[in-house]
Amino acid sequence: MSDHEDDERLLSAATSALRAHTDSGWRAARPGVLDRVRRAVRPSAPVRGRHGAGEFTVASGVLATRVAAVVDRSPAASARRVSCVADAHQELETVLVELAVEFGAELLSVSREVRSSVLAEVERLIGYRIPESVVVVDVHVADVFKPPPRPPVY
């Protein structure tokens, strides 16, 4: 049985369970819920890391979650989506970060800061320095957000 068939079987089982345990209004669920369920049940691809004791693998989903947390530390940016892609040898190739940026922020400086912090976090997690010519960090500004109100000054 292929991975795709396994995924479809899991999705079908999840849908059946959803139908069995909810009222008749389950069809009115927000669009995209089943898409999120489908993504949630798929294992993420492994990425090779190295440390003093040898090699290890880490799930690309774990890398993406940690990268998003680092991006979210910036007051001017928020991660909307992060994906990590490895090659056939499980070597990291690309990190895509889709951002929402604070309205009025300097896009180039925010993008540079995000790219730098993403590379540093990935290097920390997989255990070795990554030349920028090897791993591409694409930063895509997909949205803007209004800055939070500032407290009054007395």
Write the class of the CATH domain 44-154: alpha beta
* 4 compared with 91, residue with greater pLDDT: 91
What mean pLDDT comes out for the span 15-38? 62
Q: How confident is the model at residue 69 (pLDDT cuts 50, 70, 90)?
A: very high
Half-sphere exposure at residue 123, Cβ-oriented, CA atoms within 13 angstroms: 15
Q: How confident is the model at residue 46 (pLDDT cuts 50, 70, 90)?
A: confident
Q: Domain ranges in the chain?
A: 1-42, 44-154
Residue 127 has pLDDT above 80, yes or no: yes
